[in-house]
């Protein structure tokens, strides 16, 4: 009990220090997006929704894009109910024609756009690479890699002509190190990181800011609603709630860092590769939850929804 209390207090003290640091930074940097036009893909839920809401509250006119028209219209209604400006535009980012239509919609409605956030992404089934069908693997690549490529190049076509703009590409697990059982997702995030940083170097003197953001572990549907295979079911049911309690953060936390990247605080900068969270915070969270399990203390309930599908693996003989 004493050890658990010490770890809890240590974690709270660490976050208190980080919060104070963040407050100090906000007093010296301007984060408002007043009169900026922002496009956020994957804005139906999770991090994309949090980014769109925060941008709107900071004064931006926000275009929410996602495949689900119902969900983005619901989010737009919530933003408008708070007195801010937002519109919905259904878009499948794996289709270049739809992505260009999104950009042209923004230009037609507002005359230009200032910020483009490539957040749309899918995880694909959780499991070993050979359990996935080629179509399942390629679906992840088409949305995550091609979606970011189309979004980035179309945004840059607009930004380069104006000699200004902020392009922000969202990373994820696998952007730095391999992630077994998430090979499709992880390899796309590695590609996005390299592509984004190379793009920033290619246009470093253009006046356009090109940034990558690693949001870290978040408690969103990507973790709580999982498609997987029978041999992974028990492991996920046992470990995923522990993982989320130990290190999962609300999407509003990395959304604030996206706001910082989009703001005037990064004017004149490009090629930033920003990570939200620290190894120390993650380690303390794991130690706390491990001791909590060991001592059988009550823990916050985390609902995990699994959909079990058959493996596609067939031996070739």
DSSP state letter for 95: S
Q: pLDDT tens digits for 121-147? A: 999 999 999 999 999 999 999 999 999
- Dihedral Cα 100, 212, 54, 253, nearest 10 deg: 150
Q: What is the mean pLDDT of residues 273-291?
A: 83
Task: Tell me what the mean pLDDT of segment 230-236 comes to.
Answer: 94
Residue 14 has pLDDT above 80, yes or no: no
* The two structure tokens encoding residue 293: 């399990």
CA distance 135 to 91: 21
- pTM for the full predicted model: 0.87
Band (11; pLDDT cuts 50, 70, 90): very low
Closest CA to 151 of 193, 202, 215, 100: 100
Q: In this predicted structure, what is the pLDDT of residue 298?
A: 83
Report how far apart, in Å, the C-alpha atoms of 217 and of each of 114, 214, 220 are. 28, 9, 9
pLDDT tops 50 at residue 21? no
pLDDT (0 to 100) of residue 30: 47
Tens digit of pLDDT for each residue in 22-39? Answer: 444 433 344 589 999 999
pLDDT digits (tens, 9 = 90+) for 169-189: 999 998 899 999 999 999 999
Pick the residue with more confidence: 298 or 120? 120
Given this model, what pLDDT does residue 158 score? 98
pLDDT at 94 over 80: yes
Sign of the CA dihedral running 55, 59, 60, 62 = positive
> Which has more pLDDT, 291 or 230?
230
Query: Could you tell me which of 274, 225, 214, 224 has the C-alpha nearest to residue 245?
Result: 224
Query: Do β-strands 115-118 and 166-170 pair in parallel, antiparallel, or remain unpaired?
Result: parallel
Q: What's the confidence (pLDDT) of residue 31?
A: 57
pLDDT value, residue 242: 83
| All structural domains of the chain | 31-221+249-279 (3.40.50.720)
214 phi, psi to nearest 5 deg = -95, 105
Query: Regarding beta strands 86-90 and 61-66, do their DSSP bridges make them parallel or antiparallel, or are they unpaired?
Result: parallel
**If we measure between CA atoms, which residue out of 7, 25, 73 comes closest to residue 263?**
25
Task: Report pLDDT for 297.
Answer: 82
Token duo for residue 229: 């295979």
Share of the chain above pLDDT 70, in %: 90
Measured CA to CA, the distance from residue 172 to residue 56 in angstroms comes to 24
Mean pLDDT for the chain? 89
In this prediction, residue 46 has a pLDDT band, given cuts at 50, 70 and 90, of very high
Across the range 241-253, mean pLDDT stands at 88
Looking up tokens 């239509």 gives 101
Please give the torsion angle defined by the CA atoms of residues 197, 216, 43 and 148, in that order, rounded to the nearest 10 degrees.
Answer: 30
Sheet holding 61-66, edge to edge: 86-90, 61-66, 37-41, 115-118, 166-170, 209-214, 273-275
Q: Write down the pLDDT at residue 1.
A: 38
Q: Read off φ and ψ for residue 208, nearest 5 degrees.
A: -100, 135
- 282: pLDDT confidence band, cut at 50, 70 and 90? confident
For residues 212-219, give the mean pLDDT.
Answer: 94
Give me the percent of the chain exceeding a pLDDT of 90: 74
Which helix (H) or strand (E) segment is 30 a member of?
none
Q: Reply yes or no on whether the pLDDT at 20 is more than 60.
A: no
Lowest mean pLDDT segment, chosen from 48-62, 234-248, 301-315: 234-248
| CA distance readout (Å), 231 to 171, 239, 315 | 28, 14, 17
């Amino acid at each position: 009990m004493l050890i658990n209390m010490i770890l809890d207090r240590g974690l709270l003290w660490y976050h208190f220090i980080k919060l104070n640091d963040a407050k100090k930074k906000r007093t010296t940097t301007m984060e408002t997006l007043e009169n900026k036009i922002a496009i956020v893909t994957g804005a139906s839920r999770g991090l994309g929704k949090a980014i769109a809401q925060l941008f709107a509250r900071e004064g931006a006119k926000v275009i929410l894009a996602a495949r689900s028209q119902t969900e983005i219209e619901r989010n737009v209604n919530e933003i408008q109910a708070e007195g801010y400006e937002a519109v919905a535009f259904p878009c499948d980012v794996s289709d270049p024609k739809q992505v260009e239509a999104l950009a042209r919609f923004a230009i037609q409605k507002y005359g230009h756009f200032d910020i483009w956030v490539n957040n749309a992404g899918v995880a694909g089934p959780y499991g070993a690479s050979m359990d996935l069908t080629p179509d399942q693997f390629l679906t992840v690549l088409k949305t995550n890699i091609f979606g970011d490529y189309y979004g980035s190049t179309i945004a840059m076509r607009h930004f380069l002509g104006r000699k200004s703009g902020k392009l922000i590409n969202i990373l994820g697990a696998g952007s730095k190190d391999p992630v077994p059982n998430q090979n499709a997702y992880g390899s796309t995030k590695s590609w996005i990181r390299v592509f984004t940083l190379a793009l920033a170097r290619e246009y470093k003197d253009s006046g356009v800011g090109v940034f990558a953001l690693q949001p870290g572990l978040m408690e969103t549907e990507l973790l709580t609603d999982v498609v997987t295979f029978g041999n992974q079911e028990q492991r996920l049911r046992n470990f995923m709630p522990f993982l989320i309690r130990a290190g999962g953060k609300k999407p509003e936390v990395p959304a604030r860092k996206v706001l910082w990247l989009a703001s005037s605080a990064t004017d004149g900068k490009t090629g930033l590769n920003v990570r939200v969270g620290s190894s120390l915070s993650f380690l303390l969270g794991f130690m706390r939850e491990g001791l909590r399990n060991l001592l059988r203390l009550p823990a916050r309930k985390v609902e995990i929804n699994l959909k079990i599908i058959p493996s596609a693996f067939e031996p070739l003989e």
